[in-house]
Structures are given as C-alpha cells and as structure tokens.
Structure 1
C-alpha cells in the first residue's frame, strides 16, 4: 500500500505507527481468545471464569475481561483477574515471556517513529530560525526578507512533498538507462506538448531519455522573479510545468505562458545566436523545466543518422518559418494551442519512419 499510494514522509511514519498498533491489538486479541479457551480445557478444576463469576455473563463481558488481562501482560498495568489452575498459570507464564520480546519490539518501533516525527519538525524549525537570523544580521530590508522567507517556506514544503531526485541517495546506484527512463517518465507530460518531442517519444525513446538525463534542468521561480530579460542570449528552451509566466515585448505586447501548453525560446536549439526579444516574469510560484541547447545538440549528434537528418530538416523548416514572420509577430514564446499543427508539419514523416526502424517510402 505504501508503494501504491503516494505519501509524504510524515504520513508514512504515522501509517507505520498505526500499523504497529494494529499488530499489537491483533496479538492481544489472539492471546485473549486463547486465555478464554484455557477455562474450557480444565474439567473439574477451578477456572478464572468460575472464580470471578463470569460463567453466566454474556460472551462480550467475558471477552472484554480476557482482552483486558491480555493487555496487562504487555504493559506495567495490572488487574484483579489471575490464573486459577496449572494450565492457566503455564499459559500466563508463556505470554509474559513472549511479551518481554514482542512488546519491546513494538514499543521500540513506535518510539523510533515518534522520534523521527519530532526530528522532522525540529529540523525545519531550526533551518527557518537560521534564515531569519541571517536576514536580521545582514539588515535585509523587511519587505525583501518577507519575500525570501515566504518563498523558502513554499519551496521547502514542495520539496518535502515532491522529494527531488538529488535527495534520494540510492538513485546514484541506478544504471544510466534506468535513470533516463525514470527522469523521462517524470518530465514526459511537460515535454511531449511539443510535436518534435512527441515524435521522439515514439520513434527515438532512448535518445529522449538521454536528453532528459543530461540536458534537463529544473528551476523554481518566486512571484515576480524573471526567467529572462530582453537582450540576453538564449541558451535554454523552457517548458512550464506549473504556475504561469507573463511575457512582455516592448510597451504593448503581452502574452501569458500556460503550464503544459506553451513553450519558450525554442530558437535556442536551432539558431547559433538568438537575442531575447522580451522579458518573462513569473506570476506566482512557478516551476520551469529547461533544456540546455549545447547538451541537447551533443546528444542528438551521437544518435542515428536518420534521427540527425530528421532534426536537421525540422530545424531548417523552423528557421524558414521564423524568417517569414513579420517583425512585429516575432516572439520568444510559442503558443502551443495556436501553432502546434504548424510545428508538426515541419517534421518529415518519411525520416520519422526511418528513425523508428521502418522502411522509408
């Protein structure tokens, strides 16, 4: 269940405590049932049900007394019900011996879980206390300090929930191909909105996995943070995985970049030099998935000849389309809902089939 249901560290630890408590209650239920059974195994001898006048009581009363007795064998608590014959006494001794080990194990596990919960709370409190002290010592303006702290709280809570790959030590032991598959599956929804990457998913999956492993960079932006400003050189192609960007070009041109719908600065992949025409600013906390242009080209150059030809043909057609646009229509943002079909037409179908292993027509 823990593998099937996505849970935070806090929820996992609480679930572990609940699991150990359930095991403890189930064991006590079984022990109570056997304790009640001992009163039926000794014919002619005095039993605990006789001694405490329980033989005429309803079975629920008898079970409650037996369960109470069972629980006291695992804890320092006591009760007035005691074994009355040798069979009951031997059973009680065996339960006490078992409880010495079983109870210690269960209590130790629960204590360990509670200690982890306490440590998690103390760690976050300590780090945020250090951050506030840092702001105060360096006399950071109050408004800026508030923005930094607020974003740090947001980023910390998101990191705890999402758990980035860098925090999982065991992933360093995984093979490059498996790591590529994992990274690709995590980022696929953001990339395949672009027709070229959608085609590569079906026809050059391994190459796309290598791109995800080597060329992909994830960054977070706080509200009003800039992704880029006009006049800079484009070196990354950007996808928005969450949040929203406001793109401004000049005094009048504005565009909104939607998550998993639009993409930004694709020109960085295909042109030797592209000076950014406008400024992209985050509206609220946003997460950006970026592809390093140089590493992307290096990975593609190491792939099959058919895939290289396909990408070259796409790049030429994209550049021709860009040159044909009027100057006032040029933008660093590509609105996926408007031009996806046009972008898809740049992909040569025959080379796509060839890259996937079919015979080109």
Structure 2
C-alpha cells in the first residue's frame, strides 16, 4: 500500500501534496508513454520540423511587408497553433532515456521530466502564438485606439520569432535520427548543410530587416533605398524598387544581405542613418560569420577526409590479412561488411574509428569461428586422422563440429603449454612461433634429459584424439606462440552427434592403433612422445576391420566418380580401384589438398647368408599364362584385412618361401622406407610404405635343386653376386624357359640369365 492508503487506514486527514502524488500514480499506473524512437513520435517530429520551418521563414516576411493575417493565411496560422498545442500535450506522454541509457516510459516520470525541462519554453511560445492570432482579428480601425492596438499586434507578431527556440530541441531530434540511420559521410554532409541553412536564414532575417527599416524608419536625408531607381544613373522616369513586385523587393534585399557576408558588391546602398547603422551591423556580423563558417566548413571537410583515410587504411589492413590467410571470397565479403559496419558504429558513437587491425574479438561468434576455421583449414588438413574424419562429414556438419571444438591459444615466451604426467584434454598445432618440448627422467621413461624444438605446423599430443593420452613431457614457448587447440572430448561428442558412421570409424581407428601400440617393443615405447606418431596412419587403417576401412574407401571412390575427368576418361580404372579396395590391396584416403591418394603397404624379407653378406634371396620369375615372367624382387606380400607386419611375414614364409621355410632364421631387425610415385596404371599418386625384415639363411645338408631351387650368377658392374632363385610352377607343367630377364632387384642388374626346369620340377641347368 502507498502512503495515501496508509493515511486513510489511520484515520488521518489527507494532505494536498500526498493526495496529489498518490492520485497521479494511481491514475497513470499501468500506462506507458510512447517511445521517442517510435513511428508515431517520428511522424509528429517530422510534421513539427516542416511547420517550424514554414513559421520561422514566414513570420519575418509578414512583419516586414505588413501582410495581414486573414483568409487562408489566418486559417493556416490557427492550424499551426493547434498543432503546437497538441505537440505540448504529446511531449508529456513521450518517454526519455536516462543517464544510464535506459528507456523510461512511466507516464508520471515522463510528465515531471518534461515539466522541468521544455514545458515552460513551449508554453510561452504557444501562448504567444494564440495571443498574436487573437490580436490579429482586431488589427483594423481608424481611431487612435485602433492604431495603438495595431502597433501592439505587430509587437506580438514579432514575438512569434521566439519559435526559433524550438529549433534547439528539433536539432537534437534530427541529430539522434541521423546517428541511428545515416552513415558517417551523410552525417558530415548534414552538418555542412546545417551550417549553410544557418547562413541562409541569417541572410533571410537581414533581408527582411533591411526592407522593414527602409519602409518604417524615419529618413533624415529624405531618401531610402526602396525609393532609389532599380537602374542607377538612369533617367528620371526609371522604375524604383518601391514600384516593383514584392518578390523582386525580397530578392533584392536578400542579394544585398548576402553581399555583406562575402566580398561581393551590389547597386543597393544605404541612403539614411538607420540604413547605414543596419549596414554596419550586417558587415560586422558578416565578418564574424564568414570567417567562422569558412573555418567550420574546412574543419568538417578535413575531419571527414581524415576519417575516410583512417577507415580505408583499416579496411585495407583487414583485407590484406584475409588475403594472406587464404580466406574465401564469400567469407571475405561477409567479414568486410562487418568491419565497415563496426567502423561506422564507432564513427557514429565517438567520431573515431576504433577498429584496430585484424582482430576478430568484436565479431559474432559464428563469423569468428568461420574465419578461424578457414584460417586453420590447411593446418587441420595436415593431421591425417582429422582430415580423414572430416572427409566423411558434410559441409554443414564440418562447420558445426569445428565451431564447437577449435579455439586459439596464445602463450608468451617461457610460459608452459602443459606439464608432464597430466592428461591431455586438447591436441595442438603450432601456428606461429617456436616451442621447446622437454622429457625429463623424473617424469618420463628416458635415461637423459631430451629437448626437442617444435617448429610451426607441428602437431602436439595427436594420440590424445584416439586414446586417453598422458603427456610424457612438458612444452613451453621459446617466443610468443600462437596455437590452434582442438578439444578432444567436445570433438568426440560432436562427431558422434553429427555423423555416427564417422564416429564408428574413429573408434575402429582407435582400436587398431591401440593394438599396434601394444605390439611395440620396449625401446619403441620409451621413444614415444607428444610430438611424434610412432605408427604410420596407413598402417593403422590397414589394421582396421573391413567396415571401417571400406567406409573411407567408398568415400574416396565416390569423390573420384563425381569428378569430371574420372567419370569420362577413367571409368575402367575406377572399376579396378573398386576391386582392389574390396580385396584390401590398398588404402584410399585424402591428402591435404582433398585429393584422393593411394597407400600401399608391403612387407618384404631380405634373406642373407651367414658368411657372405652379398648373398641374398630374390624372386626373378613369376608364373603367368603358361610362362614365367621376370619380376626380380624380394619375397614380399601386401598385408590382408586386419593383418599386421608379423602376420604378413609368417604368411610369406609359409607361402612363397615354403621350400626353404625351415632354413630361414628371422633376426627381428626391421627397416622401414617410403616412396611416392604416380601410378601410370591407375593414374593416382601412390605412396608405398615398405617394412623390410632381415633374416639369415642356414644352408641345408641336402641338394636344394630337388626342392625347386637353383643358384644364378648376377653381375652388377665389376662385382659378382650370387642369388638363390625360387621358381614356382604348378605340377605336371611342361618344360619352361625364361626367355629374357631384365629388371632391378634392390639395385642389382639381372640380365642374360635363363632357367630351365625338367619334368620332375628339378633344375636342368643354368645358361
């Protein structure tokens, strides 16, 4: 309950102030004043500006030329007076903005606010308008009392010039509307236009005053400028200004007024003392106006030019930054529109552009992440598993995932990115700067302190994307570094939500990677760190089950089939790729440029003799279509589905090397190599990853020829080598002859050798 209700309950008599305040609050409770930026308020302000302009321009003309207020002119003045009266009432119900920037629309507060500020001025001006209209209807009469009343009515009409005070309030309204809706260039032009209007209106007042002085003031010389001839030094019959039309008289007076502010001349000159006084006054004011107006115009134009240059420089900096980062034209257009909008907002609010350099903090979250994704797209594509997973997503899903999981991290020189023995929650790629990664014996399984320099474009803790990884060292910045971080947990959740198939591929990849890591020896496990991947990703994919590997292969084949070149000219090659993919002969995936590439894994055996290193086992022939074709390669095979290198090695011994499998002793020494070439058969860039196992050959005590073996001499330069040749042939095959051998076997040229087999499978001789 308010104070009024409490007074009633207490039985006390109500006091005037309390009763009035309570009455106003109760009467106006629940009602809201109109917003100062509403459409209705804008219409009222627009009508007010038009009527105010008409009134302040018409009033000096009516006073100077003594135009009677009657007929349509009187009706128009009554309508304007009614409008200003209604405008005073509407101002009572118009909200206002407080000092804190909040809109106040409670009517009792808006009424008090208007009463304390503009009500007295508006009420006086409206009262003068009505009083002038009341006296205008009694402004005729021939007696002395009528003459004196006529002079009084002219005085009241002169008071109507106080309407100029309304210009102050409407100028603020126009400025607020311009700040909300006009760009900086239009606002500068509007300010220049306001100065020109002030100059023009001052000349309008001086022109009316110049004519009024000539007509009404007493001349001490008997001459006035209105009585002087239009053409000076003409005949006595020339027409004077008094005999001309009112329009010509006004334009002549306006011309004279404008010559007093500028270094121009005119034939109209003062002819008596009052005119001379007015002329001196106008020259004095003209000097002040002319100098101030010129300086103001110069300052405004210089301000606009400096602002434009500053805005253009900042826009150029941002455009250069986006171009250097390789941002697409569509996103560049969106960013540049936002930059210009921010610059215009800064200019509107503070008159200066605060946008400083290519910083994205003031952008929306969506636009900021879109820019960040495109900036880091090439870096994200450099990570094999991220590149592979995103190739399984649509463009919309890809943007959604990146928007949720990536962020930028900046560390100073000497600051730590992470410590040892802590769980990795993010994987990182170094965008710029240099870092140092340190493994200490106290926190890592190393014997001595190991320091590694991390350069740009290096991925850190990549294993955390698939496994629960604990940092084996700590990383710190050698200089100020900028990194891109991928939240591992958020990535897994978002990937599962956007694409269940891609999430299943990630799980299969993680299982295969975990299986391969468990098979590493102790030395390899100790060498694991946050900045090195111990196993090649293609080996991990090769160890996956058919479903996961085929999912990636099908996506690559679909991309090839949709391309124009492959759909027309290489359709048969796609069929061969489909067959090889189904047979798990290779792994298809995307490279950093989103191009389909082919990965092949090969496991080979280099069989050496115990005594002579130069002796090795090589397969120089292959049975095909009833003849032996030269191949000249080490015993090797491609891993099959979910088969690792050891399993492939056992398959080679039991298959291709079955005649001497009992005499091969594996050393466990692996040699890894990788080569990339363009496959002429399939037209794809092919990377071959070779795993070579070194083995020792223990000669048997019996003849090898009975088991399908022979020895062939090979010559390479000046050095002669001896190779044990295994020739595979089906049973009951006719005698075969190798017509020609010309190939390379690990750098050794085999040529001019021929092998013949007898019917029993033995060697008849070597030519």
Q: What TM-score do the two structures reach when normalised by structure 1?
A: 0.50
Q: Distance in 1 between the 2:397 and 2:371 partners?
A: 14
In structure 1, the residue matched to 2:540 is: 346
In structure 2, the residue matched to 1:266 is: 462
Q: Distance in 1 between the 2:398 and 2:465 partners?
A: 15
In structure 2, the residue matched to 1:194 is: 383
Helix, strand or coil at the partner of 2:361: helix
Helix, strand or coil at the partner of 1:234: coil
Offset of residue 280 of structure 1: 0.8
Q: Deviations over 1:331-350 (max 9, x none)?
A: 11126xx96xx124434552
Q: Deviations over 1:155-184 (max 9, x none)?
A: xxxx95431x3222xx35xxx5x6654332
Helix, strand or coil at the partner of 1:334: coil
Q: Distance in 1 between the 2:356 and 2:411 partners?
A: 17
In structure 1, the residue matched to 2:414 is: 224
Q: Distance in 2 between the 1:327 and 1:202 partners?
A: 31
Q: Distance in 2 between the 1:219 and 1:179 partners?
A: 14
Helix, strand or coil at the partner of 2:454: strand
> Is the Cα contact below 8 Å between 1:196 and 1:344 reproduced in 2?
no
Offset of residue 222 of structure 1: 1.2
2:465 counterpart of 1:275? no
Helix, strand or coil at the partner of 1:218: strand
Helix, strand or coil at the partner of 2:529: coil
1:22-101 to structure 2, matched below 5 A, reads: none
Q: Deviations over 1:303-354 (max 9, x none)?
A: 223212221122222222333333311111126xx96xx1244345521244
Cα gap change, 1:355 to 1:297, in 2 (>3 Å): farther
Q: Which has the higher contact order (CA 8 A, sep 6+)?
A: 1
> Is the Cα contact below 8 Å between 1:217 and 1:289 reproduced in 2?
yes
2:422 counterpart of 1:236? no
> Is the Cα contact below 8 Å between 1:309 and 1:351 reproduced in 2?
no
Q: Distance in 2 between the 1:208 and 1:288 partners?
A: 20
In structure 2, the residue matched to 1:184 is: 373
2:532 counterpart of 1:334? yes
Alignment length (residue pairs): 219
Q: Distance in 2 between the 1:313 and 1:227 partners?
A: 30
Cα gap change, 1:283 to 1:324, in 2 (>3 Å): farther
In structure 2, the residue matched to 1:256 is: 453
CA-atom RMSD in angstroms = 4.1
Cα gap change, 1:222 to 1:181, in 2 (>3 Å): closer
> Is the Cα contact below 8 Å between 1:227 and 1:280 reproduced in 2?
yes
Q: Distance in 1 between the 2:434 and 2:519 partners?
A: 29
Q: Which ranges in structure 1 are unaligned for 5 or more consecutive residues?
A: 1-15, 17-77, 85-98, 118-158
> Is the Cα contact below 8 Å between 1:322 and 1:330 reproduced in 2?
no
Cα gap change, 1:240 to 1:344, in 2 (>3 Å): farther
Offset of residue 239 of structure 1: 0.9
> Is the Cα contact below 8 Å between 1:203 and 1:353 reproduced in 2?
no
Offset of residue 281 of structure 1: 1.4
Cα gap change, 1:212 to 1:328, in 2 (>3 Å): same
In structure 2, the residue matched to 1:31 is: none
2:362 counterpart of 1:167? yes
Q: Which has the larger radius of gyration?
A: 2
Q: What TM-score do the two structures reach when normalised by structure 2?
A: 0.25
Counting helix residues as a fraction of each chain, which structure ranks higher?
1
Offset of residue 217 of structure 1: 2.0
Q: Distance in 1 between the 2:310 and 2:438 partners?
A: 51
In structure 2, the residue matched to 1:34 is: none
> Is the Cα contact below 8 Å between 1:234 and 1:267 reproduced in 2?
no
Helix, strand or coil at the partner of 2:376: helix
Q: Distance in 1 between the 2:473 and 2:492 partners?
A: 25
Offset of residue 357 of structure 1: 9.3
> Is the Cα contact below 8 Å between 1:242 and 1:288 reproduced in 2?
yes
Q: Deviations over 1:270-318 (max 9, x none)?
A: 22x4322111111111111111111011111112232122211222222
In structure 2, the residue matched to 1:305 is: 500
1:103-122 to structure 2, matched below 5 A, reads: 106-110=301-305, 112=307
Cα gap change, 1:294 to 1:357, in 2 (>3 Å): farther
Offset of residue 201 of structure 1: 4.5
> Is the Cα contact below 8 Å between 2:466 and 2:509 reproduced in 1?
no
